[in-house]
Amino acid sequence: MTDGNTTDDLADERASLVEQVPERRRIAIAIVGAVFWTWLLARWAYHNALLDVIATALGFPDLIRSEVPVLVRQGWIPGGPFRAVADAVAGVANALGPADVLLEWLVWLADLAAFAATIAPKLADGAFITVYLTVVSLLLGLVIAVPLAVARVYGGRVLSTLSLGYTELIRGTPLLAQLFFLWYALQLGSVARAIGFTGEPPIPQAAAMVAVVGFTINSAAYQAEYIRSALQSIDAGQLTAARAVGLDMRGTIRHVVLPQGLRLAIPGWTNEFVYLIKYSSLAAFITVPELFRAAEGVGSDTFRYTKVYVIVGLFYLALVLTTALAMGRFEAAVSIPGLDSSGNQE
């Protein structure tokens, strides 16, 4: 109850992230996003074990290269030309003396591009796990969040207190502490290994499964809050009308409340999606080789920490912006004719 307003405010803020971007810039994001995702999907496909099996069976044994270890994977975009530009500009900058800051920035950027081209295959591999963790946890979390939110709003005293207790416990403790609790205290990793999550492609490794469990539990609590506030914003008159027609509470929730409440929850839900993309980096601390850990690995191999974190930051930014854009499209696609996204008449 106490944070009802803040979650609503957050949802509004989140919704505005992409909505308020002018159309031309939105198209620019879409184009950059399309290039990024095409590259990312192609990279994933190129090293996917499952696709390799299929391609080999179809008679193309060399099409998919899942056997290449992550550390020796080669990029498709050559770093050489960027390196050459960097060297050339550096030569000019040196000739001009220490005064030319602008040129040094150009050297830095060209060098960054060259470095990005070489480490991109490793980051693509980490990004796959990041996306996997986020999407799976978000969807599993949604499955838990819907009953939690319904219990909170319509569950009567016992169920709504239980739901509230869960939500407050999860939202009141750090996500990293929750992950460590599952990983170190409950030793969920060995349980996951015992039931077959060995990490042999295409089976995910035990740590990734533990991360999915942790993120699901955590995300369910946040999603439940967004859904709860959406459910509560539905006009009570419609519930009365549903009852007056003879629908019971279950039917009313299923056919009247949820179809509208879930639509209204999309902006808040998009927020949670975006958060989870970024917070999934905490899985690095329980050894999951996701995007952030892949970047850390590159950093400790090359000691070029500044550039690594700039590049991985751009990866996250690309993931987040394309997600927000896609969710905006989704929201528009499922919107109720004649109503805006907050359910008011246009």
Partner 1 sequence: MTLLELEDIEKAYENEEVLHGVSLGMEQGDVEVLVGPSGAGKSTLLRCVNRLTEIDAGTIRLAGESIHDLDSNDLRQRVGMVFQDFNLFAHRTARGNVTLGLEEVLGMDHDEAVERAEAHLDQVGLAEQADSYPAELSGGQQQRVGIARALAMDPELMLFDEPTSSLDPELIGDVLAVMNDLAAEGMTMLCVTHEMGFARSAADTLTMLDGGRIVERGPPERLFENPQHERTESFLGQFTDFE
Position among 61, 81, 259, 313 found at the interface with partner 1 (CB under 8 A): 259
The site for partner 1, by CB under 8 A, has a size of 25
Angstrom distance (rounded) from CA 202 to CA 345: 48
Q: Closer to partner 1 at the Cβ: 250 or 329?
A: 250
Position among 245, 302, 313, 317 found at the interface with partner 1 (CB under 8 A): 245
- Asked if 332 interacts with partner 1 (CB under 8 A), we say no
Percent of the chain that is helix, strand, coil (3-state, to 5): 80, 0, 20
Q: How far is the CB of 147 from partner 1 (least distance, A)?
A: 20
DSSP string computed for 208-245: HHHHHHHHHHHHHHHHHHHHHHHHHTS-HHHHHHHHHH
Site string for partner 1, 27-66 (x = CB under 8 A): ----------------------------------------
- Asked if 333 interacts with partner 1 (CB under 8 A), we say no
| Bridge partners (DSSP) listed for residue 339 | 345
- Asked if 330 interacts with partner 1 (CB under 8 A), we say no
Burial environment of residue 107 by CB neighbours within 10 A (0 to 12, 13 to 18, 19 or more):
buried
Q: Closer to partner 1 at the Cβ: 54 or 334?
A: 334
Spatial neighbors of 276 by CB under 8 A, at least 6 apart, are 134, 137, 138, 215, 219
Position among 41, 305, 336, 342 found at the interface with partner 1 (CB under 8 A): 336
Q: How far is the CB of 244 from partner 1 (least distance, A)?
A: 4
- Asked if 238 interacts with partner 1 (CB under 8 A), we say yes
Q: How far is the CB of 237 from partner 1 (least distance, A)?
A: 4
- Asked if 9 interacts with partner 1 (CB under 8 A), we say no
Using CA atoms, how far residue 235 sits from 211, 260, 344, in Å, is: 38, 10, 11
Position among 16, 198, 240, 342 found at the interface with partner 1 (CB under 8 A): 240
Using CA atoms, how far residue 227 sits from 36, 90, 234, in Å, is: 31, 55, 11
Burial environment of residue 13 by CB neighbours within 10 A (0 to 12, 13 to 18, 19 or more):
exposed
- Asked if 237 interacts with partner 1 (CB under 8 A), we say yes
Q: Closer to partner 1 at the Cβ: 263 or 278?
A: 263
**Interaction residues for partner 1, span 96-155 (CB under 8 A):** none
How many whole angstroms from its chain centre is CA 334?
21
Nearest 5°: phi and psi at 76? -95, -25
Position among 241, 301, 306, 317 found at the interface with partner 1 (CB under 8 A): 241
Q: Closer to partner 1 at the Cβ: 172 or 337?
A: 337
Angstrom distance (rounded) from CA 170 to CA 304: 37
Position among 29, 247, 310, 320 found at the interface with partner 1 (CB under 8 A): 247
Tell me the window of 41-49, 68-76, 113-121, 249-257 that interacts with partner 1 (CB under 8 A). Answer: 249-257
- Asked if 345 interacts with partner 1 (CB under 8 A), we say yes
What does the angle CA 279 – CA 281 – CA 287 come to, to the nearest 5 degrees? 135
| Footprint of partner 1 (CB under 8 A) | 235, 237-238, 240-248, 251, 255-256, 259-260, 263, 336-339, 343, 345-346
